Structure 1
Amino acid sequence: MGSTSEAAAVDKRVDFANYFCTYGFLYHQKEMLCDRVRMDAYFNAVFQNKHHFVDKTVLDVGAGSGILAIWSAQAGAKKVYAVEATKMAEHARQLVEANNLHNVVEVIEGSVEDVDLPEKVDVIISEWMGYFLLRESMFDSVICARDRWLKPNGVMYPSHARMWMAPIRSGLVDQQMKDYEESVDDWDCFINETKCYYGVDMSVLTKPYTEEQRKYYLETSIWRNLHPNQIIGTTVVIKEIDCLKATVNDIRTVHASFSSSITAENSRLCGFAGWFDVHFRGSNTNPAQQEIELTTTPSEDYGTHWGQQVFLLHPPPRVQQGDDLIVNFSMCRSKENHRLMEIDLSYEMKQSGKLLPPVKNKIFIE
């Protein structure tokens, strides 16, 4: 039997293969660097709050291409440690050299949990947010860095985060059901052809195949940039995070019970959308001079690469303006992969003062 340390090493290699390796490709970095909402928010947060950076020491967690480390140096930091777990660190090092900042920015290839810095830092900057904020669980690494390396009066960039939800209407609910039904029909044809041409009856696999397809098409959330008019009810904050104080246990699960009133006339409740925003406020003792917000709310003109996570309902009920929804939401990490999420979502609807039976859904963020 292998030792605990050996098992941990295997887990780390698997995690790298499943997660970190994606960020080692320039095409993936380019997608994020082309997100103007993302880029403008971080750029403005740094350069409109130079007092947090001038002559300060900065740690960039998950530095990627190194853009945040470079901005920190350009804003006046005396030393920036850019920690990146993938081979993207080599590209970041090249960018730092090309921008003549190698005397300020030190790129370190490795995970922030393992590296050793020679000093504490005044600022931790990181773009750690995943789909619906917490997918990918990268904030764990930021918390680790904060607890190890941030000075008592240091600041976090971003400093605060919120998760939002709202009821929506969308043609996606019909499309996903259609795709699911076509997939099941195709399996039936496959069963018949395999038995006819090759003499093997594979019908014993029909149930697991159907369950697999149901999870994929009907129980897995979908990424979309929604239009604001697809929101059909009041929006609600379901989680608030103070990045200076939050612990891993605080974000390991998210539980929320909330109410939302339908604002659209005669619509279908096709599901719920989830999104997030983050804020650059500094701290109570060291506030930002100019607070900056980065939001991924549904927008007609300012979509982001995060978009929104759409949790569809099958079948979608009809709703009227003034109907009230009472929603229970629970999100936890997948047992198979801690960077993915499992969601239990149930709701009750009050129509014309009458409370209808509750509806429960299991949904995955993969």
Structure 2
Amino acid sequence: MGSSATAANGVVDKGVDFANYFCTYGFLYHQKEMLCDRVRMDAYYNAVFQNKHHFKGKVVLDVGTGSGILAIWSAQAGARKVYAVEATKMSEHARELVKANKLQDVVEVIEGSMEDIALPEKVDVIISEWMGYFLLRESMFDSVLFARDRWLNSGGVMYPSHARMWISPIRSGLGDQKMRDYDGAMEDWSGFVKETEACYGVDMSALTKPFEEEQKKYYLQTSLWDNLHPNQSIATPVIIKEIDCLKVTVDDIRDVRASISTSITEDARLCGFGGWFDVHFRGSDKSPAQNEVELTTAPHEDLGTHWGQQVFLLHPHRNVQSGDELNINFLMTRSKVNHRLMEVNLNCEINRASGKPVPPVQKKFYIE
């Protein structure tokens, strides 16, 4: 929806962070992409207006307000006061939109990072659309948790209140395409080396190995955005992380670890794994939602989202059979170079129903 700064270790250069992350959210074209996501918009709209008891007469904080749409809905649902925090100049557009909807007496747009601003009072509700690709890319959730710990009243609620991360083995033709792209890049490099030596007398072959590693990371190890069809899943999807937004800490999400098992449901090529998330608006134990709402980014025949799914491709693929058991060890950590990006280590043992051995999967991926 918008943006709000945080530092993973307290030493992030805010100027660099702004250039690498926040600037994107300062453009209306990017806000429009999210505002046109009907699955996303309907979920938040229904969550607010089907649970007005959480907003009527209450104080609301919108973390990373972006265009201001969630702040406006909160006010329309009866909030007494809404603080809409936005780290970019999109705050100016949000302010205009609030005024155009005659809500300037209720909604106060504040430009600044969540960690740097001060509110005059505690809040009853924190609402935010903080989710990145595969839920945690961008690390904006850190700012939401900071806001919760600093500004949320005891008994307050989070919108959304819960989140889950899922993974499933998939079939896909993308792996073959990416391998062809990689082979083409290396063939082009080989021609470049020969031509440079022939025309200019310089042997560039000393750089072949680093170029190969660079291209391998780009084509074969970097996860892809895709809108998967449900029939591309070849096993029962499994949850790798569950989050209670009222209780979770930054340390709880810094590393995502899971040891899980799933069974192959049909004979197929195991081409990789698809990852997605869902979030839920349930209120809290003390103040439950009257109508629970789910926002899911799972593969769907018709209803895709701008998040899509993250696809982790295998090279080469593995042939699997119905009944084969997959034992998966999954680890996702933050990149040491940029805390908003992720690195994934995925190890998978395939236990054949027939007992015939299959080479295990050991791969490292980058979510960039």
The TM-score range, normalised by the shorter chain, is over 0.9
Deviating 4+ runs (over 2 angstroms): 7-10, 353-359
Q: Which residue of 2 aligns with 1:275?
A: 276
Q: Which residue of 1 aligns with 2:181?
A: 179
Residue 358 of structure 1, CA deviation:
2.6
Q: Which residue of 2 aligns with 1:31?
A: 33
Q: Which residue of 2 aligns with 1:300?
A: 301
Q: Take 2:262 and 2:247, find their aligned partners in 1: how far apart are those partners?
A: 29
Residue 32 of structure 1, CA deviation:
0.3
Equivalent residue for 2:52, pick from 21, 39, 50 = 50
Native 8 Å contact 1:165 1:238 kept in 2: yes
Q: Take 1:10 and 1:43, find their aligned partners in 2: how far apart are those partners?
A: 34
Q: Take 1:356 and 1:220, find their aligned partners in 2: how far apart are those partners?
A: 24
Residue identity in the other structure for 1:177: M
User: For each residue in 1:219-251, what CA deviation from the matched residue of structure 2 results, as whole angstroms up to 9, or x when unmatched?
Assistant: 000000000010000110010000000000000
Q: Which residue of 2 aligns with 1:164?
A: 166
Higher deviation after alignment, 173-182 or 193-202: 193-202
Q: Take 1:114 and 1:202, find their aligned partners in 2: how far apart are those partners?
A: 49
Q: Take 1:65 and 1:38, find their aligned partners in 2: how far apart are those partners?
A: 14
User: For each residue in 1:309-343, what CA deviation from the matched residue of structure 2 results, as whole angstroms up to 9, or x when unmatched?
Assistant: 00001100111111111110000000000000001
Equivalent residue for 1:206, pick from 200, 203, 208 = 208
Query: Structure 1 residues 137 and 54 mapped into 2: Cα distance closer, same or farther (>3 Å)?
Result: same
SS at match of 1:313: strand
Native 8 Å contact 1:348 1:355 kept in 2: no
SS at match of 1:133: coil
SS at match of 1:270: strand
> Does residue 104 in structure 1 map to residue 109 in structure 2?
no
User: For each residue in 1:39-94, what CA deviation from the matched residue of structure 2 results, as whole angstroms up to 9, or x when unmatched?
Assistant: 00000000000000000000000000000000000000010000000000000000
Higher deviation after alignment, 249-258 or 347-356: 347-356
Give aligned pairs, total.
359
SS at match of 1:300: coil
- After TM superposition, the structure 1 = structure 2 runs for residues 214-225 of structure 1, keeping only pairs within 5 Å, are 214-225=216-227
- After TM superposition, the structure 1 = structure 2 runs for residues 1-366 of structure 1, keeping only pairs within 5 Å, are 11-265=13-267, 267-351=268-352, 352-366=354-368
Q: Take 2:69 and 2:182, find their aligned partners in 1: how far apart are those partners?
A: 42
User: For each residue in 1:246-278, what CA deviation from the matched residue of structure 2 results, as whole angstroms up to 9, or x when unmatched?
Assistant: 00000000000111111122x100000000000
Q: Take 1:359 and 1:304, find their aligned partners in 2: how far apart are those partners?
A: 29
Residue 347 of structure 1, CA deviation:
0.5
Native 8 Å contact 1:224 1:310 kept in 2: yes
User: For each residue in 1:18-50, what CA deviation from the matched residue of structure 2 results, as whole angstroms up to 9, or x when unmatched?
Assistant: 001110011110000000000000000000000
SS at match of 2:332: strand
SS at match of 1:309: strand
SS at match of 1:201: coil
Which runs of no fewer than 5 residues in structure 2 stay unpaired? 1-8
SS at match of 2:117: coil
SS at match of 1:317: strand
Residue identity in the other structure for 2:317: P
Residue 306 of structure 1, CA deviation:
0.2
Query: Structure 1 residues 9 and 336 mapped into 2: Cα distance closer, same or farther (>3 Å)?
Result: closer
Residue identity in the other structure for 2:37: D
Which runs of no fewer than 5 residues in structure 1 stay unpaired? 1-6
Q: Take 1:8 and 1:132, find their aligned partners in 2: how far apart are those partners?
A: 24
User: For each residue in 1:121-176, what CA deviation from the matched residue of structure 2 results, as whole angstroms up to 9, or x when unmatched?
Assistant: 00000000000000000000000000000000100000000000000000001000
Native 8 Å contact 1:223 1:308 kept in 2: yes
SS at match of 2:13: helix
Query: Structure 1 residues 8 and 157 mapped into 2: Cα distance closer, same or farther (>3 Å)?
Result: closer
SS at match of 1:39: helix
Q: Which residue of 2 aligns with 1:4?
A: none
Give me the identity figure in percent. Answer: 74
Residue identity in the other structure for 2:159: Y
SS at match of 1:229: helix
